[in-house]
Amino acid sequence: DQQVKQNSPSLSVQEGRISILNCDYTNSMFDYFLWYKKYPAEGPTFLISISSIKDKNEDGRFTVFLNKSAKHLSLHIVPSQPGDSAVYFCAASGGGTSYGKLTFGQGTILTVHP
């Protein structure tokens, strides 16, 4: 049962353009969402997060949008840079004592071409 889904295994974008990575979830108990970036041979690195009380959170070139009614979130990277090429994971966490457990999507491979 895949509670967090990233339906696009890969995305290719030109340098300078916008990258949009999408994520859907099914568990309505999730109320905290995170994006991680992962380079080969490295562990995931935290990028940005959003609480369910918000619908948008920005950090520099990265913006995460949350649509609770659609159970959908997206990560926008503007402008995209070749160094952004990596695997991006969406993750979600539930309430109460469950914040120690993250449920991850399968990841999307982003390739930014110069």
Partner 1 sequence: DSGVTQTPKHLITATGQRVTLRCSPRSGDLSVYWYQQSLDQGLQFLIQYYNGEERAKGNILERFSAQQFPDLHSELNLSSLELGDSALYFCASSAETGGFLNTEAFFGQGTRLTVV
The single residue among 60, 69, 70, 100 that binds partner 1, judged by CB under 8 A, is 100
Alpha carbon separation from 104 to 36, 74, 94, 101, 112 (Å, rounded): 9, 14, 12, 10, 23
CB 93 → partner 1: shortest distance, Å?
6
Rounded CA gap, 10 and 3, in Å? 19
* Site string (26-65) toward partner 1, x via CB under 8 A: ------x-x-x----xxxxxx--x----------------
- Please name the helix (run of DSSP H) or strand (run of DSSP E) that holds residue 33, with its range, or none: strand 30-38
Q: Which residues bind partner 1 (CB under 8 A)?
A: 4, 6, 32, 34, 36, 41-46, 49, 89, 91, 93, 97-107
